[in-house]
Structure 1
Amino acid sequence: MKLTWKQAAAAVAFTAAAVAATGALAQQRMFFGIATGGTGGTYYPLGGMLAQLISNKASVDGKKISATAEAAGASVANAKLLGNKDIESAFVAADILDAAYNGTGQFQGAPIKNLRALGALYPETVQLITRADAGINSVKDLKGKSISSGSPGSGQYQLLTDLLKVYGMSRADIKEDLSSFTQAVDKIKDGNLHATLITAGVPTAAVTDFAQSHALKVIPLSGAEIAELQKQQPFYANVKLAANTYKGQTEAVDTLAVMAVWTAHDAVPENVAYEVTKALYENVSIMGQVHVQGKNISLQTATSVGNAPIHPGALKYFKEKGIVK
């Protein structure tokens, strides 16, 4: 159909108006990213709910903050993303945050000094998972066996190093696999992997799925060797994995836990950091709706972030609430 000049002019005017409207909408929004972890862990669902919370509750100077959660490589990779300012915020385990800021462990000689904590989230439980029929009853039994320390960039890599060391072993004594939580448990199901080390909020989706079809065993982490590890890794606390966290796991298991910390970089504006921090800690009940660990996010523990500095925007909010002087 051939358009008259009036129809063509009207079409051009409509298109221009639509483009202008889209541009105006973009100007009314401020974008804020949250790097999480793999889809089989706890970072991902909680990050998604946090992004939704921020998008619904937070604004700066009349602009809505539009937040998105992104699947990522977890703690080590997330710290590097922040160091490069490739994303505004990320979930990072407290031990990795400390190592990254101070240039130790996997960050030896390369500290990331622009890291700033927004607030502590919840305890991540260390879970050494294997099949019940694998003949593995302790860390010592891993010698000569295959084990996943998580996808490249996860915090489990350093933890496995330290675990092996206190038990008189090194990586040369095992067959290491670098699979995500979901990939690792699938390999264990198929008999292609003996064990996996998972540090995440419980229940962890990948482990729950595994327990539905296979008898699992959670290897205890306690005793003199673990006490020695805690001297090197003071961010790890003794905890018990409650009985029946997973199908078939009828007894509580001694293990470790480390705090997850929501972290930003120092170029995130103070008013933005203030608003997103406020959005989280004034709506923590909503976080518990997507995962039980969301119920453990609390203003009372928000400043338990280790030695990395707290972002000035988050600090302003904590001072207003009276938890920091």
Structure 2
Amino acid sequence: MKKKLGTLLIAAGIGLASSGIMAQERVFFGIATGGTGGTYYPLGGMLAQVISNNSDLGDKKISATAETGNASVANATLLGRSSIESAFVAADVLDAAYNGKNQFDGKAIKNLRALGALYPETVQLVSQPGITSFSDLKGKTVSSGSPGSGQWQLLGDLLAAYGMQRSDVKEDYSSFSQSAEKIKDGNLNASLITAGSPTSSIVELSNSHDVNIIPLTGAPIDKLRKSQPYYAKTILPAGTYKGIDKDVETIAVRAIWATHAKLSDDVAYAVTKALYENTDTLAKVHVKGKEITLKTALESVSIPLHPGAERYYREKGLIE
């Protein structure tokens, strides 16, 4: 990859000491995830291990690695350049990238292909104590992630839904982990974090600092969902984070595992099979791993399936 990414090398080489395995040619397979403070990263690491341990191409063995990245928008762009074999991308961003909408206006990425749906990512608007509603954010500092990112787009959509403009808040462009540190230090009022819950950066923050999760519900959210149908209503359960003693109404969007059209059909088939036939292993790493199932593998998938993944789903009866 042209861009320097921190690489989490998974133990794909465990057991290579035997001469039989040493003789196998290895096919390298990368998975672009997100920052270390989110959910993409730990699940991507375990998925890479699952693939490395449970898939091969006969005389070739797939060796997978998970790489830190800048999440959905950047990951879709990497796939568009065929700079990595696969990536995690939020369903709304993936749809926008393929169809040339929103952040990708006039820049449609038509070589994107889907491998399968993963889990719902919860929109968590984390704030300092005392900020209890979205309207309280007026005049406050709010982190929305990198300009042009899915988070940045969502903040703009939320502001519009609540009758506000970007100029009504002071935007900060920190990562999840950086945002948590700034809230802890009193240098940031709130941060928009869309990730599988519980999210490690929020867990660490709530364990040492009082925080609030602002509800996202009511007429403004109904308005948002009309323009962004990939967002579904959900509940962040009480006790997800220290100090959050009541259920919080919010929204969520499903994460999709995507690739590009140049990936070979055999590799796409093998990695898709490895994921959905080893979901119990992913469930041991993160609570969101329990929500990755073959039953929901095609939910929120609006772009073409990769032919290799499609072959697997036909074998399983998900597609006729």
Cα drift, residue 73 of structure 1: 0.1
Query: What is the match of residue 88 of structure 1?
Result: 85
Aligned equivalent of 2:271, options 272, 276, 292:
276
Instruction: Please give the alpha-carbon distance, in whole angstroms, between the structure 2 residues aligned to 1:88 and 1:171.
Output: 35
Tell me if the contact between 2:125 and 2:213 (Cα under 8 Å) persists in the aligned partners: yes
Q: CA RMSD in A?
A: 1.3
Quick check: 1:40–1:182 contact (8 Å CA) kept in 2? yes
Displacement of 1:62 in angstroms is 1.3
What does 1:92-107 align with in structure 2 at a 5 Å threshold?
A: 92-107=89-104
CA deviation after TM superposition for structure 1 residue 26, in Å:
9.0
Query: Once the 2 structures are TM-superposed, how far is the Cα of residue 77 of structure 1 from its aligned partner?
Result: 0.3
Runs of 5+ consecutive residues of structure 1 not aligned to the other structure: 1-23
Q: TM-score, normalised by structure 1?
A: 0.90
- Determine if the alignment matches structure 1 residue 130 to structure 2 residue 116: no
Are residue 230 (structure 1) and residue 225 (structure 2) matched? Answer: yes
1:154 CA displacement: 3.8
3-state SS of the aligned residue for 2:300? coil
Indicate whether 1:79 and 2:76 are aligned.
yes
Q: Using the aligned pairs only, state the percent identity.
A: 62
Bigger drift between 77-86 and 152-161 goes to 152-161
Structure ranking higher in helix proportion: 1
Among 109, 115, 121, the residue aligned to 1:112: 109
1:240 equivalent to 2:238? Answer no
1:196 is aligned to 2:196 = no
**How many residues are matched?**
300
Q: Which runs of 5+ in 2 are unaligned?
A: 1-20
2:50 and 2:109 mapped to 1: Cα distance?
Answer: 28
TM-score (norm 2): 0.92
Q: Which residue of the partner structure matches residue 262 of structure 1?
A: 257
SS at match of 2:204: helix
1:28 equivalent in alignment to 2:25: yes
Partner in structure 2 of residue 156 of structure 1? 151
Higher Rg: 1
- Describe the superposition over 1:142-175 as per-residue Cα deviations: whole angstroms up to 9, x where unpaired: 1111111124564211110100011111111111
Deviation, 1:27, is 6.9
The answer to whether the 8 Å contact 2:122/2:196 transfers is yes
1:323 Cα offset (Å): 1.0
Alignment of structure 1 residues 41-60 onto 2, 5 Å: 41-60=38-57
Assess if the C-alpha contact under 8 Å between 1:117 and 1:263 holds in 2: yes
Is 1:220 the counterpart of 2:215? The answer is: yes
Q: 2:98 touches 2:112 (CA, 8 Å); kept in 1?
A: yes
Q: Conserved in 2, the CA contact under 8 Å of 1:126 and 1:198?
A: yes
- The separation in 1 between residues aligned to 2:33 and 2:25, in whole angstroms, is 26
Distance in 2 (alpha carbons) for counterparts of 1:242 and 1:199:
16
